[in-house]
Structure 1
Amino acid sequence: MSSQIPMTRVGHERLQEELKNLIRVERPRVVEQIAEARSHGDLSENAEYDAAKDRQAFIEGRIQELNDKIARAQVIDPSKLSGDKVVFGATVTLFDAETDTEVTYQIVGEDEADIKDGKISVTSPVGKALIGHSLDDEVRIKVPSGLRVYEITDIRYE
């Protein structure tokens, strides 16, 4: 797994903040919880100890995962991009003629995707379908409810 992971500057900063919190706050907290649970005696039937050890394993695994992602990050600043094609980081407005609605998405990395915030992953079906298209293009996207046709009405890099 040595391939680069595209992400926006904001997404990169969020991963770094999560890593910092795990190392500086969560890791010491769980070590204290383990010590306290250990002081209660018999570890074979100590649910607090087992829960703290499970939490510690999760934290250590997440720290490794974040270190890996940060090391492989290809940070892309959408405000420095331009052009007439949809690329990673673009904010795209789509018009759905069938429902007469407009929707706007920013195409981001997998760890940044949040549909409620209008951010979709570059690896999602919609993200993949939009990449490389231009303004006014009709894009056919296969979704669980069937085939949807969208028109790209705006492409911004912000």
Structure 2
Amino acid sequence: MFDLTKQTARVDNLNPKPEMHGAEEVKFIDIKLKADLSNTILDSFSPTLREALFCAGPQPDMHGHLKHLKHPELGVQHWAGEFRPVVLQIHGSGRSAKDDMVFRETRLSKIAFEPKEGGTCAFVWNIRVQPNEADAGRLFGLMHAEVRITQDMSAATTHEGDGDE
């Protein structure tokens, strides 16, 4: 569900969140990401979701893409729960994987999307990561920047909550 590969996304906000784990303070950063994605990603949430929100319209294209909104009045939709563990890879500007930041054991939550005419959806979601000091600095340097991300949810399970634990 909601797997992305080298997808362009915007780092919309970063929020440091220290938590006490027993006597130890653990530092996390919540990353708010935004991306316009093809409505086909909705099929990974539910096999009927895209067809519930989009139709082919009066003149379908030759590939049968669902591009027209059935209910434009619906606006922003929310997907409940949080998902963990998720692997987030933020690809660096270099050609080598060593320029990438890879975060394992992250928590994805607060998924919202707005279906758009033409067959896209504007997605917003949060991922909580536990960076080392160097990656924390690199993340803050990416604030409001467009980045390429790979998001792997293959091992993720759904948990109740919205990510504000």
User: Could you state the TM-score of these two structures normalised by the residue count of structure 2?
Assistant: 0.22
- Structure that is richer in helix per residue: 1
User: Could you state the TM-score of these two structures normalised by the residue count of structure 1?
Assistant: 0.23
